[in-house]
Amino acid sequence: MSAFTPASEVILRHSDEFIERRVLFAGDLQDDLPAQLDTTLTRVHTQQYHHWQTLSRTLGENAQFGLVATADDVRDCDTLVYYWPKNKPEAQFQLQNLLSLLPEGCDIFVIGENRSGVRSAEGMLEKQATLAKIDSARRCGLYHGRLDTRPDFDAEGFWGEYLLDGVTIKTLPGVFSRDGLDAGSNLLLSTFTPHTKGKILDIGCGAGVLSTLLARHSPKVRLFLTDVNAAALAASKATLAANQLEGDVFASNVYSEVSGRYDMIISNPPFHDGLQTSLDAAQSLIRGAVKYLNSGGELRIVANAFLPYPQLLDDTFGNHEVLAQNGRFKVYRAIYGRGAKARR
């Protein structure tokens, strides 16, 4: 997070506005502007673990990661700067949570790229505040208003669920495959065989669909699920519990909090960070896998067919194979063995 996003560049146009404010930054934070902007007080709440990792290095305990913000997380703040995410229900969850804690009369700034649908912030918050656009630049809109009425917030009301092959999937706003199984994960699941054994590491676990369905057919697996999204981690824990399964679910930026070695690493890796295309996570997933696989262990991932992973797999593992493919996706398998190249 070295360069500022277009949204942050618009905030910088108004930097003098924040010098004497006590500011809470939240939402889709993708750079370290909160750590650099001159304010009287800066706090951050984020649902994204990798964003927290960067910001906490400078802000310490004033940067918090979690699904739900608490009163202590917003303590003494008189201004909210909210970065609009690409997912409208996610924005509704986060804004209701934050505004239920902030004092009436506090200033609200909402910034987001136009293609993210940030203009819908006006309607979403009309019962709490009257927002007006105060700037438009870098294909972003900046809205400002004051909190007139604090909303009620009940996190339980945002939970959803659906059935998939007799398995209950629990979901929250902002979680991948929230409304049903995506085509890529479905193709990856088609390659799993019964009676799989050993330690399974599910990176970017989302709602826990891959691990849960794998464990249903292979009850002897030991599950370890990671994600950067606090909502995904909560959903995965709830999905496992709903299906009477056990697993270790924890926050990790790819391998940042992973230890030990595994018999299989599975993933439907993201290639976006917010609205921005980013292959960083998937590339780190492939390059780092050999450090966390047992000898003979395998990396099995699904990806859009146009993404440039075959060469990276060959460079890292020495070879790979395609287990399944359709017009949009391919499932790749690479085995950790003599041809693999451990990265230092």
For residue 55, the enclosing domain spans: 7-147
Confidence of residue 178 (pLDDT cuts 50, 70, 90): confident
pLDDT at 231 over 80: yes
Q: What is the mean pLDDT of residues 237-241?
A: 98
The CATH number of the domain holding residue 58 is 3.40.50.150
What is the Cα–Cα distance from 1 to 182, expressed in whole angstroms? 29
Q: Which pLDDT band, with edges at 50, 70 and 90, does 5 fall under?
A: very high
Higher pLDDT, 38 or 271: 38
Is residue 1, in this structure, part of any structural domain at all? no
Which pLDDT value is given to residue 279? 74
Domain count within the chain = 2
Q: Which amino acid is it at 97?
A: N
Do 164 and 97 lie in one domain? The reply is no
What does the alpha-carbon distance between residue 154 and residue 175 come to, in Å, rounded to a whole number?
Answer: 18
- pLDDT score of 102 more than 70: yes
Whether 214 and 328 map to the same domain: the answer is yes
Q: What is the pLDDT of residue 272?
A: 45
Instruction: Identify whether residues 165 and 55 lie together within a single domain.
Output: no
Asked whether residue 228 falls in the same domain as residue 284, the answer is yes
pLDDT value for 327: 85
Helix (H, G, I), strand (E, B) or coil at 57: helix
Q: Mean pLDDT, the chain, as a whole number?
A: 93
Which pLDDT tens digit goes with each residue over 250-291?
999 999 999 999 999 999 987 645 444 457 888 899 999 999
* Whether residue 71 is found in the same domain as residue 198: no
Distances in Å between the Cα of 53 and the Cα atoms of 31, 93, 102, 303 are 11, 22, 24, 26
The answer to whether residue 79 scores a pLDDT higher than 50 is yes
Of the candidates 127, 140, 132, 149, the one whose C-alpha atom is nearest the C-alpha of residue 11 is 140
C-alpha 188/C-alpha 79 separation (Å) is 45
Final residue of a structural domain among 99, 124, 147 = 147
Q: Which range is least confidently modeled, 126-130, 132-136, 233-237, 266-270? A: 266-270
Identify the pLDDT of residue 344. Answer: 34
